[in-house]
């Protein structure tokens, strides 16, 4: 369990909730906060059509702006939803206790899961998770999306600090690889009480309270369609800043990588690639370019004429060139430049493509 550090890193509600959700390609919160403060004023709107776990929206809300975004992956959406519209602590605790009481009635169902789950979670945890999967209405209830988000954070990771056997936190391993790895090392899943475990996590997370996010919202869906419905809302303020980072071409499949968390949200009990092209790895370059052009064009109706466009993208030539092409087509009257701002030492491109010489990320700004 993380404790408050002497440097004050976890001394506020915003700092404790900002990191909710292990997820690839995350904006550093400090970066998003700096951009939001530089290009907007209090009360103004920030738009993110590729919201991920909602870091840019959360940064906007924490700085008394209004964040509006869309995310296609339910895992990222649940994280963002919980950070922006957080349930009361007592409601989450009561929900966890309720699931704990109901868990034994899911014993037979949990026993039917594939072998991976037997090696990944102890019986009590397995029953609890199957119960949570069935009982939590995470799409429509504040208590349930908050509870689900907190469960997803530590669903898997280091065995001493998660509900699972040893596994990386950001990406679920292939079931057969994981089983083989655990068997070779004779590593059985940690025996623990899931309710007691989660209560400790909840206590730490809420110790400084929760963020009052105001009107900030994250929507679940495909931006190419969802942005149209948002632009129809006449009362919505036009955004002064578009701050986003689109998926990078051919790097990773967020749905495949998050298969175990998606299972807890009601998905299949083994990895699978969705049929929809927009939920895959974007290996087709034409489809990737068309995605960027379509989304940025749809953003126009939600932006003020003097809005600043700020996009962090991959430094590899094709992704970089495609992003510039899409931005210039969507916003032909704006000037574009490469913004020289501090960037991560290791990008997701380097993680997945160690052989690529051009690594890192690029910030593009239009005004």
> In terms of domains, do 71 and 179 share one?
no
> In terms of domains, do 147 and 255 share one?
no
Q: What is the pLDDT of residue 53?
A: 94
Report residue 308 as tokens: 């600043």
User: Does the residue 1 lie in any domain?
Assistant: no
> In terms of domains, do 30 and 165 share one?
no
**Beta strand 45-48 pairing with 66-71:** parallel
Q: What is the extent of the structural domain holding 93?
A: 89-206
> In terms of domains, do 202 and 248 share one?
no
Q: What is the pLDDT of residue 116?
A: 98
Of the three residues 152, 187, 206, the one that is the final residue of a domain is: 206
> In terms of domains, do 257 and 310 share one?
yes
Of the three residues 206, 221, 247, the one that is the final residue of a domain is: 206
Phi and psi at residue 15, to the nearest 5°: -70, -30
Specify the number of domains making up the chain.
Answer: 2
How much is the pTM? 0.91
User: Does the residue 288 lie in any domain?
Assistant: yes
User: Does the residue 2 lie in any domain?
Assistant: no
Q: How far is CA 292 from CA 202, 325, 362, in A?
A: 38, 9, 16
CATH code, domain with 350: 3.40.50.150
Let me know if 173 is exposed, middle or buried by CB neighbors in 10 A (0-12, 13-18, 19+).
buried
> In terms of domains, do 66 and 111 share one?
no
Q: What is the pLDDT of residue 253?
A: 78
> Coil, strand, or helix at residue 260?
helix
pLDDT profile of the chain (367 residues), mean per 10: 52 93 79 97 97 96 96 96 97 98 98 98 98 98 98 96 95 94 97 98 97 91 93 71 92 85 96 68 86 96 96 92 97 91 50 51 94
> In terms of domains, do 130 and 77 share one?
no
User: Does the residue 64 lie in any domain?
Assistant: yes
């Amino acid at each position: 369990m993380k404790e408050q550090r002497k440097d004050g890193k976890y001394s506020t509600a915003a700092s404790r909730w900002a990191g909710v959700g292990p997820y690839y390609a995350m904006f550093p919160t400090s970066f998003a906060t700096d951009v939001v403060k530089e290009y907007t004023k209090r009360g103004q709107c920030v738009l993110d059509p590729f919201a991920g776990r909602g870091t840019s929206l959360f940064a906007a809300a924490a700085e008394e702006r209004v964040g509006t975004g869309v995310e296609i992956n339910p895992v990222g959406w649940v994280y963002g939803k919980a950070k922006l519209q957080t349930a009361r602590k007592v409601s989450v605790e009561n929900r966890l206790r309720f699931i704990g009481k109901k868990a034994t009635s899911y014993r037979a169902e949990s026993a039917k899961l594939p072998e991976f789950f037997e090696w990944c979670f102890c019986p009590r945890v397995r029953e609890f998770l199957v119960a949570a999967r069935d009982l939590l209405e995470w799409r429509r209830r504040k208590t349930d999306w908050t509870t689900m988000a907190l469960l997803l954070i530590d669903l898997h990771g280091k065995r001493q600090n998660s509900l699972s056997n040893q596994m990386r936190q950001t990406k679920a391993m292939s079931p057969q690889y994981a089983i083989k790895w655990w068997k070779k090392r004779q590593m059985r899943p940690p025996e623990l009480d899931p309710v007691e475990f989660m209560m400790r996590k909840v206590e730490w997370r809420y110790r400084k309270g929760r963020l009052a996010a105001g009107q900030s919202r994250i929507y679940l869906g495909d931006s190419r369609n969802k942005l149209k419905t948002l632009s129809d809302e006449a009362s919505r303020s036009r955004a002064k800043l578009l701050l986003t980072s689109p998926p990078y071409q051919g790097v990773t499949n967020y749905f495949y990588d998050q298969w175990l968390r998606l299972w807890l949200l009601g998905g299949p009990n083994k990895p699978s690639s969705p049929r929809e092209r927009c939920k895959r790895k974007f290996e087709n370059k034409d489809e990737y370019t068309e995605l960027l052009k379509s989304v940025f064009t749809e953003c126009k109706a939600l932006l003020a004429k003097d809005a600043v466009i700020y996009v962090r993208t991959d430094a590899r030539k094709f992704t970089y060139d495609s992003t510039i092409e899409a931005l210039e087509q969507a916003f032909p009257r704006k000037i574009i430049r490469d913004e020289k701002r501090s960037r991560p030492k290791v990008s997701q491109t380097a993680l997945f493509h160690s052989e690529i010489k051009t690594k890192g990320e690029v910030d593009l700004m239009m005004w």
